Structure 1
Amino acid sequence: MRNKGLIEVIKKGLFWLLVIIIFIYLVFPFYWAINSSLKSEAQLQMTPATFVPRDPETYKFAPTLQNYRAVFSNDKFVRGLINSAIVSMLTTLLALAVGSVSAFALGKLRFKGKTLSLYLILAMTMFPQVTVLSGLYAVINHLGIKAIPSMILSYMLFTLPFTTWVMTSFFKSLPNELLQSAQVDGATPFQTFYKILLPLTAPALVTTGLLSFIAAWNEYLFALTFTSIEPTARTVPVAIALFTGEVSRQIPFGEIMAAAVIVTIPLVVLVLIFQKRIVAGLTAGAVKG
């Protein structure tokens, strides 16, 4: 019995040790970004690097907000934040609107080619972005579409298939009796969709919507390409990548870290606000019935 108790204690100890290691591995990059954003240029050049901002001479704790002031005084960065918010929100709304209707049809309605349609949607998520970038850019450039609408349309390539695929599983998990009862009461399929079934998929809408928003908010490759001839439409990842120092070949590391922290805060806030919905959304479609 003692040996069994000792083994259980060792197992729990190893488990919590693994949890702590994973937690540090995940949180440390964000902590280091905050730490670096609170340092001046002289503090960033200190060797060895310090885990908190310290004065190079007295070695006392000395954080500074000069990087944040510099970032918020950068018009290109502020414009990038606004552009990213517009593009991300519109992409998310369009993905949810189109994806939820498609998911309802694929999850609850009967028609030929439904299984093939599902696999085609899944296949669309497997293509790397770079494989369609050049052709898509040529089409958009030929049609003369502005940078922001072109980014929204291109982001739908990877948010819409994901949204449709995930939402389909949630609609499948809803009881068919709801659909049958609505039909008996004279409701059309569309009325059944938006009055009865759609409200029940709120956790799924929040989960897929948040993931779509994060994907559009952080996207860099398409944004860099489509805004190359329209700098005013640059999103915040592109704006951060194009930060320049006060002198030639200087990398403003502190300002980049401050900008990264600012860009990450909205995502953290959204996750904290909708965390219960996210957990419900991630688990509700796992069990059918």
Structure 2
Amino acid sequence: MDAALPLSSPASLARRRAALRHRRARRVKRGLMMAALALALVYTLFPYYWAIVSSTKQGDALFDRALLPALDLTNYRLLFANPVFMRSLANSVFVATSTTAISLLLGVSAAYALGRIEFPQRRAVLILVLMISIFPQVVVLSGMFELVQWLGLFNRPSSLVLTYLLSTVPFTTWILTSFIREFPRELEEAAVMDGASHWRILTRILLPLMGPALASTGILAFILAWNEFLFALTFILTDENRTVPVAIGLISGASRYEYPFGQIMAASVTVTLPLIVLVLLFQRKIVSGLTAGAVKG
């Protein structure tokens, strides 16, 4: 009498059970990662969404807990009809754009010298650049105030361009130096054999390859200059020369007892939206630029 043969051996059953446990663990891990990502997105984006909701409310409606916007654009109409705010918006565009352009120009030149040209003090210069970027604004505020007055730039938007370079140039120099160091030296050696100068190598060979790094550093420098408050509050006195962060802080109501929360939220949404659009448009170049030099080989 033949005995019934088992469909599978104990070793095969053990492997199947292990594979099943592995798949379940992967599903649980994936679910936890998705939940953590959703929580991070809600934590990050909900304040901006609540600002949008609050900017569409008036009066007592600001105290409601409704999560949907009221679709009332009165605060935005009042904001765009305010010449002081529109002037400050134009000042911020000028200051941030000028700061970004000058920072990239100086940063690219310094990064090429620090990343490609051999000289004994190169490491000391890099450390010095890092030390400059570490100083808090309050420490250098009095010295920059004296410098701005001596140059005759007090109460002028150009004074902000000068002071913002103190933080943006070291930042761009560090990132671009790391990026330039990753380029193969064969590119420069071939250009040197053809008689190319350092400036020609930088502008004709390396600069066209630095799109991701320029995009990442440029956008981050623009954001730093766009959002800066302390220097803008200290060096600018009149409404026609102020930038957006200070203008938002000085928005007042019709009386001393009124706090224009709706208009402040509308202004915050207005000045933040261009930054979000820029980051979304250049997000791939920002990531590739910031991770340049992180992986060897």
1:180 and 2:189 aligned = yes
Task: Quote the offset at 1:167 in angstroms.
Answer: 0.3
Residue 123 of structure 1 deviates from its aligned partner by: 0.9
SS at match of 1:18: helix
Q: Give the whole-Å Cα distance in 1 for the aligned partners of 2:249 and 2:202.
A: 43
Deviation for aligned residue 1:237: 0.5
- One-letter code aligned to 2:279: V
Secondary structure of the structure 1 residue equivalent to 2:195: coil
Partner of 1:251: 259
Match of 2:231 among 213, 222, 234: 222
Name the counterpart of 2:27: 9
Determine helix, strand or coil for the equivalent of 1:174.
Answer: coil
**SS of equivalent residue, structure 1 residue 286:** coil
1:142 to 1:231, Cα distance in 2 relative to 1, 3 A = farther
Q: How many residues align?
A: 278
Matches within 5 A, 1:1-289: 1=18, 2-46=20-64, 49-53=65-69, 62-146=70-154, 147-228=156-237, 230-288=238-296
Normalized against structure 2, the TM-score is what?
0.90
Q: Answer yes or no: is the 8 Å Cα contact 1:173–1:287 preserved in 2.
A: no
Tell me, yes or no, if the aligned pair for 1:148 and 1:233 is still in contact at 8 Å. Answer: yes
C-alpha distance in 2 between matches for 1:108 and 1:242:
47
Distance 2:26 2:216 in 1: 36
- CA–CA distance in structure 2, aligned partners of residues 149 and 137 of structure 1: 13
Counterpart of 1:52, as a letter, is L
Query: Once the 2 structures are TM-superposed, how far is the Cα of residue 288 of structure 1 from its aligned partner?
Result: 4.2
By how many angstroms is 1:271 displaced? 1.5
Q: Deviations over 1:172-201 (max 9, x none)?
A: 000011111110000011111111011111
Q: Deviations over 1:66-113 (max 9, x none)?
A: 000011011111001000000000000000001100000000011120
Conserved? CA contact 2:178–2:292, under 8 Å: no
Q: TM-score, normalised by structure 1?
A: 0.93
Indicate the SS of the match to 2:251.
Answer: coil
1:21-51 CA distances to partner (integer Å, 9 max, x unpaired)? 10100010110010001111221133xx221
Distance 1:177 1:231 in 2: 54
Report the 3-state secondary structure (helix = DSSP H, G, I; strand = E; otherwise coil) of the residue aligned with 2:247.
helix
- State the distance in 2 between where 1:264 and 1:156 align: 22
> Which string of whole-angstrom CA distances, capped at 9 and with x for unpartnered residues, describes residues 41-65 of structure 1?
221133xx22124xxxxxxxx4200
1:287/1:4 CA distance change after superposition, 3 Å: closer
- Equivalent position of 1:59 in the other structure: none
- Note the residue ranges of structure 1 that are not aligned, 5 or more in a row: 54-61
**Overall identity of the aligned pairs, in %:** 47
Distance between the aligned counterparts of 2:115 and 2:257, measured in 1? 55
